[in-house]
Chain A
Amino acid sequence: MLATATTTIEPRLLAGQPFAAGAESWDQHRARLGELPRSPGLAGIIPSIERSGLIGRGGAGFPVGRKWRSVAERSRRGAVVVANGAEGEPRSAKDRALMHLRPHLVIDGGVLARAAIGADELVIYVGSEHGEAVRSMSRAIAERGGRDPVAIRLVEAPRGYISGESSAVVHYLNPRDARPTSALERPFERGVGSHPTLVQNVESLAHAALIARFGDAWYREAGRGRTRGTALVTVSGPVRFPGVHEIEYGITMADLVAMTGGATTEIGAILIGGYFGGWGSVRDLWGAPLDPVDLGEAGLGFGCGLIGLLEADACGVRATERIVRYMAAESARQCGPCIFGLGAMAAALDRLAIRRPLPDDLENLARWSAQIVGRGACHHPDGAAALLTSGLRVFGDDFDRHQRGHCAHPSPRAGED
């Protein structure tokens, strides 16, 4: 399922037994990959991670080595590593799949990060709604029987889109309130129990665990363009094999669709990066590299690797409305611009999509989507605004028609969840 003629690289995170075999046990994991190097073999791991070019997989794509270094420099007694597997993004499944199928790779990465930055504790933070992942991680911690040089604690993250945001993670692990905070200190400065805290996505940690074994040069062998390595993606929409795939950075969208067995109907637009990402047209994206650098230059982002394909006969206004409505409902309801701004956007989109629009709905949406940016304690409103901005651009003709009271799409419910 992972390798085709156009994608030469072998899977890395998802190597080993087939998905259907379920979680890899600790014995199988060590037989396949060997032991994780221990300190002092770990001296130089931060420079090695830096040289690898590994970037974070939770959404922002920040360089992992630089993040570890900044926490290590601040690390004193009590520093904490959080392996973030909250995965609140509704259609993303790659983190839960990884935790379910390769739990020991995730734990290895956490153990490695803990040693690298000199932390005292490792917290595995798993979305409580991801039952298989919770059970698999919990079983894996038990299998290791405390033989790691660090205490490992499993914490179930409350359900919700925002609970994986890094300040929300820290907030939850303190007084158990998984809403973002407005503290100006970031988690790596002052996090869990006021200690420097490394919040790192579980996929990022799993890659780090492989780099510790095989080296940064090996890591860099994968990748067709500027960003090196492989990435997990979640593909949704009309392809034969939707779901989680491991790709080499830099393959094209056409390569990816071929990997997933091909499209089952004509595709009109692509949601890339998830609900925090944006819409792109098939014309612009089909031959473009799936590389965070290139996507960033095009005003899009790789985000958490969610690739949502929209049928050509589905209405882009409705598709955008559904996502913004969801984002408005998932607001932590702490900041005025997020509560009222996202609410107003969702209401205007609802009128445009399926009711009678007010004369200035479209004009207001364009204005609000610019005004809302940067005005929450976290980036939740920014994500909704960016998504809306991309929808207004990609589906511009559809939006104009809807403002005039028409929809050009023959099957009004197409693309409905």
Chain B
Amino acid sequence: MAVSLHVDRIHCEGYGMCAELLPEAIELDDWGYPMIRDGVLPEHLGALAERAVEVCPVLALRLVSPERMRPTLQSRSLAPHTALRSQGGG
């Protein structure tokens, strides 16, 4: 089954252990918070991704099916009618 990495942004405290384990899929920004490469996780990284989920000290990393991912504003600005969540609740 295809999976994507999801970070709970509220709980993430920027320990950065996920990026150490999975540099192919996760980079850190200037403040140490993870930036996940877009899209489905390549299958060969599955085991490492599960390990990264386990070692996150605040349990902020999850593997989810791609359709559970929230649309970003960037995708919204290209197609204005695709995002249900909004400032102001539509």
Contact = CB atoms under 8 A, between A and B. Distances in A.
B89 A166 contact: yes
B81 A55 contact: yes
A368 B30 contact: yes
27 contacts: A56-B89, A59-B87, A60-B80, A60-B84, A60-B85, A61-B81, A67-B84, A86-B88, A87-B88, A164-B89, A182-B9, A184-B68, A184-B70, A201-B88, A295-B80, A296-B79, A300-B77, A304-B88, A335-B9, A335-B10, A336-B13, A337-B31, A340-B33, A341-B31, A375-B35, A379-B72, A379-B85
Most buried by B among A186, A304, A338, A374: A374
Contacts of A334: 9-10
Most buried by B among A89, A201, A334, A375: A375
Contacts of B73: 373-374, 379, 382-383, 385-386
A60 B30 contact: no
A276 B10 contact: no
A376 interface: yes
A84 B7 CA distance: 28
A61 B33 contact: no
A199 interface: yes
Interface of B: 6-14, 29-33, 35, 64, 68, 70, 72-74, 76-81, 83-90
Given A336-B14, A382-B73, A386-B77, A188 B88 contact: no
Contacts of A56: 86, 88-90
Contacts of B14: 336
B7 to A, nearest CB: 8
A227 to B, nearest CB: 10
A181 B70 CA distance: 13
Interface residues of A, number: 65
Contacts of B78: 296
Interface string A352-393: 000000000000100010010111111110110110000000
Contacts of A87: 88
A377 B89 contact: no
A64 B81 CA distance: 10
A200 interface: yes
Given A337-B31, A340-B31, A181 B72 contact: no
A63 B7 CA distance: 29
Nearest to B83: A60
A365 to B, nearest CB: 12
Contact of A60 (B33, B35, B68, B86): B86
Contacts of A60: 76, 80, 83-88, 90
Given A181-B10, A377-B10, A199 B90 contact: yes
A167 interface: yes
Given A186-B85, A335-B9, A377-B10, 17 more contacts: A56-B90, A58-B88, A60-B80, A169-B89, A182-B11, A186-B84, A276-B87, A293-B80, A295-B80, A300-B77, A371-B35, A375-B7, A375-B9, A375-B29, A377-B8, A377-B9, A382-B74
A269 B23 CA distance: 42
Contacts of B72: 373-374, 379, 382
A378 B88 CA distance: 12
Given A374-B73, A374-B74, A386-B73, A59 B64 contact: no
Nearest to A299: B77
A218 interface: no
A344 interface: yes
A155 B10 CA distance: 26
A341 B86 contact: no
A62 B8 contact: no
Interface in A259-295: 276, 292-293, 295
A257 B81 CA distance: 27
B10 A67 contact: no
Given A337-B9, A337-B33, A341-B29, A62 B88 contact: no
B23 to A, nearest CB: 16
Given A182-B11, A336-B33, A62 B79 contact: no
A371 B37 CA distance: 11
Contacts of B31: 336-337, 340-341, 344
Given A60-B84, A199-B89, A371-B35, A296 B9 contact: no
A223 interface: no
A375 B33 CA distance: 9
A204 interface: yes
A165 B77 contact: no
A182 B8 contact: yes
A235 B84 CA distance: 26
